[in-house]
A and B are shown apart, each in its own frame.
Chain A
Amino acid sequence: MVTLVVAVIVLSIVWGGFAFFLLKAIKFEKRKNTF
């Protein structure tokens, strides 16, 4: 159970963080290219 909690925390912070920043960058790039 503890293993699962740590796995979810680590993966959601690292992979989730990367996905979050990537989506944010895509959004800003789209906005820059629109105007």
Chain B
Amino acid sequence: MKQTEFFTSRWGLILATLGIAVGTGNIWRFSRIVAQNGGGSFLIPWLIFLLIWSVPLIIAEFAIGKSTRFSPIGAIAKTAGKSYAWMGAFIAFVSTAIMFYYAVIAGWCLRYLYLAASGDLLTATDHLALWNSFSSSHSPIIYHFIVIVICALIIYKGIVSGIEKASRYLVSTMIIILLILLVRAVTLPNAVEGLKYFFTPNLDTMLDHKVWLNALTQNAWDTGAGWGLILTYAVYMKKNEDIPLNAALIGFGNNSVSLIAGITIFSTVFALSSSDAIAQISQSGPANTGMTFIYLPLLFTKMSGSLLINTVFAVLFFAALLFAATTSLMSMIELATRSLIDFGLQRKRAIIIVAFIGFLFGVPSALNLKFFLNQDWVWGMGLILSGAFIAFSIIKFGADKFRIEIINSEGSDIKIGKWYNYIISYLIPIQAVILLAWWLISSTSWDPEWWNPFHAENAGTCIAQWFLVLSAFIAMNKFFVRYTLER
């Protein structure tokens, strides 16, 4: 299929891709993981893994998408060989399965933005009861439906009028909001105590292997590297568009936003919290949302003496959270849509199918937090496998050949050296194996019936669901090749 639509400019591509990378993980997960892993001790390994996991995989995704002009199924088949289309299908499926429940998360953000704007959030006396009454009702389905429809309308308009235009507004507004909140947070009295904890390293903690594994996990989950999403946007890159410099911008831009959010949250909690600040930031909270929906609204009521000013800050925070979630969700919907387009469907028909399926399969997560946690666990782990599959396809193609012919091709502003071959051939696969083994083995300690596939978070449910999906896709490999590459 001839590619006819492209991002109009480099900045449009960068803002859209930054929209993929910056999501709720940067805002509520990063702070929690920093608090649980010794503050400054966590930041050093987190920086190292940015360089040896995130940026190399972002480069790989840009290069594969731009060179093949296919979504993951056709892209992996074209790069690694026709026998491996099933790997591309797995990458596409994992991101689509995440899309089902991520739309529910975006719906929660929309609900809380509405609550903040209406004044009900800051005048509530019991925020836990407020969350429980919302999450146990049918309301999450309504908000889930609204965000799916909004994103589907954006994708329906295509790349330039849809994704690029929406990302320009949403991502730039989100960054401006986060900077306003950062300035307010660090000027709160006693905010410096939060900054001290955030940046103070502890040598003992730094030698703990769990801190390093958590730092790698955070990079795998919050930069969008290895999801196949950046690969999908790269399909719409111009022929003479740069790869390495854009990839570095996305990796460093994503982690810059994480730092802004982290400094903001640590400063705010240490300045306004009357109880143990670290315990508050460390808590997993309902559905792993940390303190976002329970404790932060309480802090907003203490931000100043004026209810109006406090309401403005609460609205700004939940708007930034909603924009971060929406731009990430858009890319997941686009990946599924583009996959159907590669099978021969028209965009307008494909998006209707994806939106309908996305809404339908998100409903169980909207109604049942246990099901939500199960899907978050299984496909969050699946992302590590996706990253390994992307590295494998480059190894199969020939890492040096890939670097010279595709990454350092026409339009690249900077050239990538031989170091890239070693990272993609050895370091990425080793990191993926260690990370998967660690998480699956760890899960045996928190669930005695670790083999039981019907439990929410254990090794058994992961392996069972992966086995079902992988065996189906391996059986369908010829179908994938015939109806994408050979169509």
Contact = CB atoms under 8 A, between A and B. Distances in A.
Interface of A: 2-4, 6-7, 10-11, 13-15, 17-18, 21-22, 24-25, 28-29, 32
A14 B259 contact: yes
Contacts of B47: 10, 13-14
Contacts of A2: 200-201
B15 to A, nearest CB: 12
A7 B413 contact: no
Contacts of B367: none
A14 B256 contact: yes
25 contacts: A2-B201, A3-B196, A3-B199, A3-B201, A4-B199, A6-B200, A10-B44, A10-B47, A11-B259, A13-B47, A14-B252, A14-B255, A15-B256, A15-B259, A17-B252, A21-B245, A24-B414, A25-B10, A25-B14, A25-B245, A25-B246, A25-B413, A28-B242, A28-B245, A28-B413
A25 B249 contact: yes
B36 to A, nearest CB: 18
A7 B262 CA distance: 13
A18 B245 contact: no
B19 to A, nearest CB: 16
Contacts of A17: 248, 252
**Secondary structure of the B side of the interface?**
helix
B351 interface: no
Interface string B366-395: 000000000000000000000000000000
Interface size grouping (class) on chain B: 20 to 34
Interface string B244-275: 01101100110110010000000000000000
Ranked 6 nearest A-B pairs via Cβ: A18-B252, A7-B199, A28-B413, A3-B200, A17-B252, A18-B256
Nearest to A7: B199
Interface of B: 10, 14, 40, 43-44, 47, 50, 195-196, 199-201, 240, 242, 245-246, 248-249, 252-253, 255-256, 259, 413-414
Contacts of A28: 242, 245, 413
A29 B201 contact: no
Nearest to A11: B259
A30 B231 CA distance: 26
B367 to A, nearest CB: 39
B40 A24 contact: no
Given A11-B259, A25-B249, 18 more contacts: A2-B201, A3-B200, A3-B201, A6-B44, A7-B40, A7-B195, A14-B50, A14-B252, A14-B256, A15-B259, A17-B248, A24-B245, A24-B413, A25-B10, A25-B242, A25-B246, A25-B413, A32-B240
Contacts of B248: 17, 21
B199 A10 contact: yes
Contact of B10 (A10, A13, A21, A29): A29
B434 to A, nearest CB: 24
B259 A10 contact: yes
A9 to B, nearest CB: 8
Given A2-B201, A11-B259, A18 B43 contact: no
Contacts of B414: 24
A15 to B, nearest CB: 5
A34 to B, nearest CB: 14
Nearest to A13: B47
A29 B249 CA distance: 14
A10 B199 CA distance: 9
A18 B250 CA distance: 8
A21 B250 CA distance: 10
B171 to A, nearest CB: 14
A2 B248 CA distance: 28
A2 B413 CA distance: 37
A8 to B, nearest CB: 9
A11 B43 CA distance: 10
In this complex, which of B199, B242, B246, B414 has the most chain A Cβ atoms within 10 angstroms of its Cβ? Answer: B199
Contacts of B50: 14
Nearest to B46: A10
A4 B47 CA distance: 17
B267 to A, nearest CB: 13
Nearest to A10: B43
Contacts of B199: 3-4, 6-7, 10
